[in-house]
Structure 1
Amino acid sequence: MLGFYPRDIRIYEQALLHKSVFVLSEQGHQMNNERLEFLGDAILDAIIADILYNYFENKEEGFLTNTRSKIVQREMLNKLAMKLGLDKHIKSSAHSSFHNTYNMYGNAFEALVGAIYIDQGYKQCKKFIEQRIIKPYIDLEQLSRKDVNFKSKLIEWCQKRKVEISFELIEQFFDNQSNSIFQTEVLIEGLSAGIGSGYSKKESQQHAAQMALKKIKKSHDFVVNIFEIKTQKEEIPLEQQPEIENSTEQEKADI
């Protein structure tokens, strides 16, 4: 799985220890993989940035950031963890909910990266990502062309047309398994464009952005309202604005 022999096997065991299992260290502290997950998250971001920077030599910062986000998003990390077989080695409570059970795979993957970094250093950690993750499981060229970041796409749409956009957290509650659920509303020129829910703020924002993009594509009246409000704010006569009906077809093509 790793491609090398660990120096300290205990840190790898901790990387696979979910917080739902109550285990104490020799000092009496509860042990789990959350600290390693925190470290691994940062190290993984740096390594993926390093790899993409050298692979896509002529691409700009926005492209590199967007491509990295596709690799380090939770769904991708969950899948990579399962491909590595981490799901068969994670120690967790049988009472964990499905959501936590699925997401713990990606969390364990990040914790494993943190463990490798501590045990072997940056160079070996990067080699692991390149040889054991990127090479067998990720086609960088194909992935870079796949547009899955709805939030980035929506922000780009708004910036191109110079309209205001904001993401507002409107509610946070718990499901029947006591998992936090976040609900976010995206506003364009103050108009509600979409509402999304998720088990993290980022996930809820992505879902809200996805709904907004669908609304822009399907509702001509909504796009008209956006530009009417923008016009009123700028105090520019509506007849001086570009014809909305014609531009709406381009909006659809962009999306």
Structure 2
Amino acid sequence: MNRQDIGFVQSSINYQFKNLQLLEQAFTRKSYSEEHPEVQNNEVLEFYGDEILDFFVTKMMYKRFSRILNNELVSEKNEGELTKLKSILVSKESLARCMYNIGFSKFLYLGKSDEKNEVYKSKSVNEDLFEAIIGAVAADCDWNYENLEKVCRTMLDMETTNGYLALLVKEKSHRLGFG
């Protein structure tokens, strides 16, 4: 990635890296690191990013649908509904769509086989990229929750909010008897 690409990514996710190598690592596929052994790939960053994203989305749903009433937790949604909503918010399709819409996949470091097979178009690869970016931010900011929350919110707003709003409209329509 050149300086302009790095600037675009940082402004898009609303975070400025202190260690730009972590950002580049987030974009590095295993196939590339196998051809360039001196370079680390994004798989561990992806693992951490996945866990952070799950926590962030769960907390977001808690704040939206739950409250303490008479010293007990009361929720507008039951466990099954929350599980379904969370699965939509962090689905492969939603996360990949975020990366497609912003155009981040064009910055991936790919090995020759990945380039030949055009894996940058894959939902799975784009989902991994989404999570790896969050993992890179976590490592860069030493797990500062305010920074992680800001980046998660920014990245999810790239597309997932539309899916979330569509789900809420669909649920309300069913409750009102519109099928």
Q: TM-score, normalised by structure 1?
A: 0.51
Provide the residue aligned with 2:37 in structure 1.
24
Provide the residue aligned with 1:8 in structure 2.
19
Provide the residue aligned with 1:78 in structure 2.
96
Provide the residue aligned with 2:126 in structure 1.
105
**Partners in 2 of 1:5 and 1:81 — Cα distance?**
18
> Where in structure 2 are the equivalents of 1:104-253 lying within 5 Å?
104-120=125-141, 121-134=144-157, 137-139=160-162, 140-144=164-168
Higher relative contact order (CA 8 A, sep 6+): 2
**Partners in 2 of 1:105 and 1:2 — Cα distance?**
15
1:13/1:49 CA distance change after superposition, 3 Å: same
**Partners in 2 of 1:146 and 1:37 — Cα distance?**
32
1:85/1:135 CA distance change after superposition, 3 Å: closer
**Partners in 1 of 2:168 and 2:50 — Cα distance?**
21
How far apart are residue 87 of structure 1 and its match? 0.8
- 2:127 partner SS: helix
Unaligned runs of 5+ residues in structure 1 are: 148-255
**Partners in 2 of 1:84 and 1:15 — Cα distance?**
16
**Partners in 1 of 2:168 and 2:84 — Cα distance?**
8
Once the two structures are superposed, residues 95-114 of structure 1 have per-residue CA deviations (whole angstroms, 9 ceiling, x without a partner) of 22356751211111110011
User: Would you say 1:93 and 2:111 are equivalent positions?
Assistant: yes
**Partners in 2 of 1:99 and 1:40 — Cα distance?**
20
1:73/1:135 CA distance change after superposition, 3 Å: closer
Larger radius of gyration: 1
**Partners in 1 of 2:101 and 2:26 — Cα distance?**
17
Q: In 2, are the aligned partners of 1:86 and 1:109 still within 8 Å (CA)?
A: no
Q: TM-score, normalised by structure 2?
A: 0.70
Q: In 2, are the aligned partners of 1:67 and 1:144 still within 8 Å (CA)?
A: no
> In terms of mean alpha carbon deviation, does 95-104 or 110-119 score higher?
95-104
The structure carrying a bigger helix percent of its residues is: 2
Q: In 1, are the aligned partners of 2:95 and 2:130 still within 8 Å (CA)?
A: yes
**Partners in 1 of 2:89 and 2:105 — Cα distance?**
19
Root-mean-square deviation (CA), in Å? 2.4
Matched AA of 1:92: L
Provide the residue aligned with 2:3 in structure 1.
none
1:77/1:99 CA distance change after superposition, 3 Å: same
Unaligned runs of 5+ residues in structure 2 are: 1-11, 67-75, 172-179
Provide the residue aligned with 2:72 in structure 1.
none
Provide the residue aligned with 1:48 in structure 2.
57
**Partners in 1 of 2:158 and 2:130 — Cα distance?**
17
Q: In 2, are the aligned partners of 1:2 and 1:132 still within 8 Å (CA)?
A: yes
1:79/1:73 CA distance change after superposition, 3 Å: same
Provide the residue aligned with 2:47 in structure 1.
38
